[in-house]
Amino acid sequence: MERGRTVDVAPVVENGRIAFVSDSVFTASMGLAGADALCNLDAAAAQLPGTYRAWLGSSAGGPDSRFAPAGDPWRRVDGPRLAPTAADLLSPTSPPYLSTFLNRTASGVVFVDRLWVGSVTENCADWTSTAGEGAVGNPIATHAEERRDSLSFPCVFDHRINCLQL
């Protein structure tokens, strides 16, 4: 073996749909359609394939209600799976832990600040207003309850959002 020689090893990239934190910030008054458009613009800028939807809750249901539990599980842009199956990620109870953090942007940058997630009651008037408050989440949490913080922020603030491939 040669001394002083390094070998680059590529990270393992799991199969599955892509999930990321938006590179762009979301203004609460942009609406769910605006959030979805932001996700797709960021994905296109990062040359990611497919169509994306924002992980945002509204009066119609929590963020998980916007996604189907069938299909491939989601993975971060750099490869690691978030949960063993899509249903596991969407379930509020099973499993309670993610396999890894969802803390990478579409362009692969690590992100560790709060982001909008919304809830049935804290959603900036269904993401149509900068009045009131909205629920925020923690991108470096792996437990279900920690991913949705007990914190709310005034809707006048801009935050990034999670985006998941359909």
H or E stretch covering 75: strand 74-76
Q: Say yes or no to pLDDT of 120 above 90.
A: no
8 pLDDT above the threshold of 60:
no
Q: With H, G, I as helix, E, B as strand and everything else as coil, classify residue 160.
A: strand
Domain boundaries, the chain: 17-165
Q: pLDDT at position 145, please?
A: 55
Q: Which CATH architecture has domain 17-165?
A: Roll (3.10)
Torsion of CA 11, 16, 17, 18, to 10 degrees: -10
State the chain's mean pLDDT as an integer.
86
Of 145, 147, 125, the residue nearest 55 (C-alpha): 147
| Top-confidence residue, 104 or 87 | 104
Would you say residue 87 has pLDDT above 90?
A: no
Number of Cβ within a 10 Å radius of residue 112? 10
Q: How many Å apart are CA 41 and CA 47, to the nearest integer?
A: 10
Asked if 87 and 81 count as a contact pair (C-beta separation under 8 A), the reply is no
Which pTM was predicted?
0.87
Residue 121 has pLDDT above 90, yes or no: no
pLDDT for residue 62: 85
Residue with the bigger pLDDT between 91 and 161: it is 161
Report the C-alpha gap between 5 and 129 in whole angstroms.
57
Could you read off the pLDDT of 124-136 as tens digits, one per residue? Answer: 999 999 999 998 8
Contact 15, 81 (CB under 8 A): no
